[in-house]
Protein backbone atom coordinates (compact mmCIF):
# COMPACT_ATOMS: atom_id res chain seq x y z
CA UNK A 1 0.00 0.00 0.00
CA UNK A 2 1.29 3.44 -0.84
CA UNK A 3 1.99 6.13 1.71
CA UNK A 4 -0.97 8.12 0.47
CA UNK A 5 -3.25 5.09 0.80
CA UNK A 6 -2.10 4.45 4.36
CA UNK A 7 -2.59 8.11 5.18
CA UNK A 8 -6.14 8.14 3.78
CA UNK A 9 -7.05 4.90 5.55
CA UNK A 10 -5.69 6.19 8.86
CA UNK A 11 -7.49 9.51 8.41
CA UNK A 12 -10.81 7.71 7.81
CA UNK A 13 -10.33 5.59 10.94
CA UNK A 14 -9.54 8.66 13.05
CA UNK A 15 -12.53 10.55 11.66
CA UNK A 16 -14.73 7.56 12.47
CA UNK A 17 -13.43 7.38 16.04
CA UNK A 18 -13.95 11.10 16.54
CA UNK A 19 -17.47 10.86 15.13
CA UNK A 20 -18.36 7.99 17.48
CA UNK A 21 -16.88 9.84 20.46
CA UNK A 22 -18.83 12.97 19.55
CA UNK A 23 -22.08 11.02 19.27
CA UNK A 24 -21.47 9.41 22.67
CA UNK A 25 -20.72 12.79 24.29
CA UNK A 26 -23.83 14.29 22.70
CA UNK A 27 -25.89 11.38 24.03
CA UNK A 28 -24.38 11.61 27.53
CA UNK A 29 -24.88 15.37 27.77
CA UNK A 30 -28.35 15.53 26.25
CA UNK A 31 -30.48 17.81 28.41
CA UNK A 32 -27.54 19.01 30.53
CA UNK A 33 -27.39 22.77 30.95
CA UNK A 34 -23.95 24.33 30.36
CA UNK A 35 -22.37 26.05 33.35
CA UNK A 36 -22.78 29.55 31.92
CA UNK A 37 -26.45 29.06 31.11
CA UNK A 38 -27.93 29.48 34.58
CA UNK A 39 -31.30 31.21 34.45
CA UNK A 40 -31.52 34.77 35.69
CA UNK A 41 -34.41 35.38 38.05
CA UNK A 42 -36.97 38.07 37.16
CA UNK A 43 -35.81 40.05 40.20
CA UNK A 44 -32.21 40.03 38.92
CA UNK A 45 -33.37 40.98 35.42
CA UNK A 46 -35.30 43.97 36.77
CA UNK A 47 -32.35 45.04 38.93
CA UNK A 48 -29.94 44.89 35.97
CA UNK A 49 -32.39 46.82 33.81
CA UNK A 50 -32.87 49.50 36.47
CA UNK A 51 -29.10 49.90 36.90
CA UNK A 52 -28.46 50.35 33.18
CA UNK A 53 -26.99 53.74 32.29
CA UNK A 54 -28.15 55.79 29.32
CA UNK A 55 -24.83 55.13 27.57
CA UNK A 56 -25.22 51.35 27.88
CA UNK A 57 -28.84 51.56 26.79
CA UNK A 58 -27.82 53.56 23.72
CA UNK A 59 -25.06 51.07 22.85
CA UNK A 60 -27.49 48.17 23.15
CA UNK A 61 -30.07 49.98 21.06
CA UNK A 62 -27.49 50.56 18.33
CA UNK A 63 -26.08 47.04 18.41
CA UNK A 64 -29.35 45.06 18.47
CA UNK A 65 -31.64 47.46 16.64
CA UNK A 66 -34.59 49.57 17.65
CA UNK A 67 -37.18 46.79 17.39
CA UNK A 68 -35.22 44.35 19.58
CA UNK A 69 -34.58 47.13 22.11
CA UNK A 70 -38.28 48.00 22.24
CA UNK A 71 -39.13 44.31 22.74
CA UNK A 72 -36.63 44.14 25.61
CA UNK A 73 -38.12 47.21 27.28
CA UNK A 74 -41.62 45.77 26.85
CA UNK A 75 -40.47 42.45 28.36
CA UNK A 76 -39.01 44.26 31.37
CA UNK A 77 -42.27 46.17 31.79
CA UNK A 78 -44.22 42.90 31.70
CA UNK A 79 -41.92 41.35 34.30
CA UNK A 80 -42.24 44.42 36.51
CA UNK A 81 -46.02 44.33 36.25
CA UNK A 82 -46.18 40.62 37.04
CA UNK A 83 -43.95 41.06 40.06
CA UNK A 84 -45.75 44.12 41.38
CA UNK A 85 -43.17 46.74 40.51
CA UNK A 86 -44.85 48.71 37.82
Q: Quick one: pLDDT at residue 29?
A: 87
Mean pLDDT, range 68-82, rounded to an integer: 91
Q: Quick one: pLDDT at residue 36?
A: 66
Mean pLDDT, range 47-55, rounded to an integer: 91
Range(s) of the domain holding residue 69: 39-86
Count: domains in the chain: 2
What's the residue count for the chain?
Answer: 86
Q: Does 74 lie in the same domain as 60?
A: yes
Q: Does 43 lie in the same domain as 17?
A: no
Q: Does 44 lie in the same domain as 30?
A: no
Residues 8-37 have pLDDT tens digits of: 999 999 999 999 999 999 998 888 777 766
Q: Which residues contact 59 (CB under 8 A, 6 or more apart)?
A: none
Q: Does 33 lie in the same domain as 45?
A: no
Q: Does 32 lie in the same domain as 44?
A: no
Q: Does 56 lie in the same domain as 43?
A: yes
Q: Quick one: pLDDT at residue 17?
A: 96
Q: Does 20 lie in the same domain as 30?
A: yes
Amino acid sequence: MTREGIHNQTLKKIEGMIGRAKMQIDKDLEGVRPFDKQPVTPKEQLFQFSQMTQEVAQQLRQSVGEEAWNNYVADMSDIARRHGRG
